[in-house]
């Protein structure tokens, strides 16, 4: 990861480059800024710059073996510490236990927050921490001889999630730093960190990203129209993670819509092959998406009823949905609405209890063929 690939202010990059130029790279630095600012990618780009064999005055070369190892997150002198959900049953006690997931999210998504990280770990809603086993691992890694002749770098994402024991050990490390070692603390909320830790780090304030930069990034990475990229970035107020979530949510929504249309068309036509195909398609999604899809169906049924019996101004639909419902809504009426809602609610209930989705959706589409015809 090079500086040029990171959405961040030139000011911050200049500050980091100046440290190197004047040979005053502080051994403990804290990149501090709001959630959704590019602090973590900046820390990685800075590490790459520090480890690069051929850095220019502005950026790492991106091509030398050191740069390549940093880019693939396999450089032996670049260590990562991040909060994890500690679990005996899952055998997770420190960062290394979920390193594959970490490398995946950091290389593919690059910008993420705790929630996206927990989703990645299949641990939504849990409380991730940096615990005492992590401090042992840190000591162990720092006691190893460096692989190259430059620095050993330890990036600590969200040090505010260290528990008291880990924080005390960290403090000792910062008081007596091992030679040629650089700690880069990447922090959203400095108030949650021991003041004694903060006083031993050099703070680098990373501001929220600029809307235009976010729009450019969203357009390029997700291939959406300029207008969508602009509206998403305006709403995100400089939070890159939120902009990504919004554009991904939009894509997911569209996928549910297409699947729902397919489902209803095949239910109406009552073609057994189509019905099996579409139920298999739904069952092939992961559980969370299956549940979202069922919720989406309930939403469309409700909107159909509003379109049929109430004021159009109450509708909460996107353009493609509105166009579809103009023809479809008439099939959803007092003849079948309560049964449709009941069946979808029941499907949701069973999905939450880990029912076999293949059987569940096959059963549901068969019921749908009858229920849709009831409304004709």
Please report, as ranges, the residues that interact with Zn ion according to CB under 5 A.
52, 60-61, 64, 67
| Dihedral over Cα of 279, 343, 354, 296: its sign | positive
**Least distance (Å) from Zn ion to the CB of residue 63?**
6
The residue (of 60 and 239) whose beta carbon lies closer to Zn ion is 60
Cβ partners under 8 Å of residue 219, min gap 6: 225, 226, 229
Task: Give dist(CA 45, CA 299) in Å, integer.
Answer: 44
**Least distance (Å) from Zn ion to the CB of residue 52?**
3
**Least distance (Å) from Zn ion to the CB of residue 179?**
23
Task: Give dist(CA 345, CA 360) in Å, integer.
Answer: 12
The residue (of 34 and 148) whose beta carbon lies closer to Zn ion is 148
The residue (of 47 and 94) whose beta carbon lies closer to Zn ion is 47
The residue (of 75 and 219) whose beta carbon lies closer to Zn ion is 75
The residue (of 19 and 101) whose beta carbon lies closer to Zn ion is 19
Cβ partners under 8 Å of residue 48, min gap 6: 1, 2, 60, 62, 66, 67, 70, 71
Alpha helices in the chain (DSSP H): 10-21, 39-51, 65-71, 99-108, 114-120, 132-143, 164-175, 195-198, 211-222, 226-236, 240-269, 272-283, 287-309, 319-328, 337-352, 357-374
- Phi then psi for residue 41, to 5 deg, are -60, -35
Task: Give dist(CA 246, CA 122) in Å, integer.
Answer: 20
The residue (of 66 and 290) whose beta carbon lies closer to Zn ion is 66
**Least distance (Å) from Zn ion to the CB of residue 49?**
8
**Least distance (Å) from Zn ion to the CB of residue 50?**
10
Task: Give dist(CA 357, CA 355) in Å, integer.
Answer: 6
The residue (of 68 and 103) whose beta carbon lies closer to Zn ion is 68
The residue (of 52 and 78) whose beta carbon lies closer to Zn ion is 52
The residue (of 52 and 105) whose beta carbon lies closer to Zn ion is 52
**Least distance (Å) from Zn ion to the CB of residue 78?**
13
Q: Which two tokens stand for residue 10?
A: 């030139």
Q: Which two tokens stand for residue 322?
A: 């509105």
CB burial of residue 294 (10 Å; 0-12, 13-18, 19+): buried
The residue (of 60 and 201) whose beta carbon lies closer to Zn ion is 60
Task: Give dist(CA 191, CA 13) in Å, integer.
Answer: 25
**Least distance (Å) from Zn ion to the CB of residue 48?**
7
**Least distance (Å) from Zn ion to the CB of residue 53?**
5
**Least distance (Å) from Zn ion to the CB of residue 56?**
10
**Least distance (Å) from Zn ion to the CB of residue 125?**
41
Please state the separation of Cα 329 from the chain's center in Å.
35
**How far does the chain reach from its first CA to its final CA, in angstroms?**
58
Per-position DSSP letters for 40-87, written without gaps between them: HHHHHHHHHHHH-SS--SSS--S-SHHHHHHHTT--TTEEEE--B--B
Task: Give dist(CA 317, CA 323) in Å, integer.
Answer: 9
Is 170 within 8 Å of 159 (Cβ atoms)?
yes
């Amino acid at each position: 990861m090079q500086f040029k690939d990171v959405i961040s202010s030139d000011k911050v990059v200049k500050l980091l480059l100046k440290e190197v130029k004047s040979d005053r790279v502080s051994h403990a630095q804290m990149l501090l800024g709001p959630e959704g600012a590019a602090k973590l990618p900046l820390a990685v780009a800075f590490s790459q710059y520090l480890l690069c064999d051929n850095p220019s005055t502005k950026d790492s070369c991106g091509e030398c073996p050191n740069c390549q190892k940093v880019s693939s997150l396999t450089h032996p002198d670049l260590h990562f510490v991040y909060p994890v959900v500690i679990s005996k049953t899952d055998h997770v006690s420190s960062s290394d236990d979920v390193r594959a997931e970490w490398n995946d999210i950091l290389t593919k998504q690059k910008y993420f927050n705790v929630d996206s990280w927990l989703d990645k770990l299949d641990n939504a809603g849990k409380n991730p921490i940096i615990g005492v086993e992590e401090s042992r691992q840190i000591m162990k890694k720092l006691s190893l001889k460096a692989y190259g002749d430059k620095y050993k770098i330890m990036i600590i994402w969200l040090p505010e999630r260290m528990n008291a024991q880990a924080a005390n050990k960290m403090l000792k490390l910062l008081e007596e730093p091992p030679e040629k070692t650089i700690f880069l603390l990447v922090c959203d909320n400095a108030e949650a960190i021991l003041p004694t830790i903060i006083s031993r780090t050099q703070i680098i304030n990373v501001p929220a990203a600029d809307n235009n930069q976010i729009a450019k990034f969203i357009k390029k990475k997700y291939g959406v129209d300029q207008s969508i990229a602009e509206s998403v970035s305006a709403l995100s107020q400089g939070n890159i993670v939120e902009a990504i979530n919004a554009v991904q949510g939009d894509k997911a929504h569209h996928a549910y819509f297409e699947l729902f249309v397919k489902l209803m068309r095949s239910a109406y036509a009552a073609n057994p092959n189509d019905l099996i195909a579409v139920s298999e398609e739904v069952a092939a999604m992961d559980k969370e998406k299956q549940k979202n899809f069922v919720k989406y169906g309930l939403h469309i049924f409700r909107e159909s009823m509003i379109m049929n019996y109430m004021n159009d101004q109450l509708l909460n639909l996107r353009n493609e949905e509105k166009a579809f419902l103009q023809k479809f809504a008439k099939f959803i009426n007092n003849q079948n609405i309560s049964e449709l809602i009941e069946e979808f609610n029941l499907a949701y209930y069973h999905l939450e209890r880990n029912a076999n989705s293949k059987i569940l959706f096959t059963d549901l589409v068969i019921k749908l063929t009858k229920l849709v015809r009831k409304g004709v």
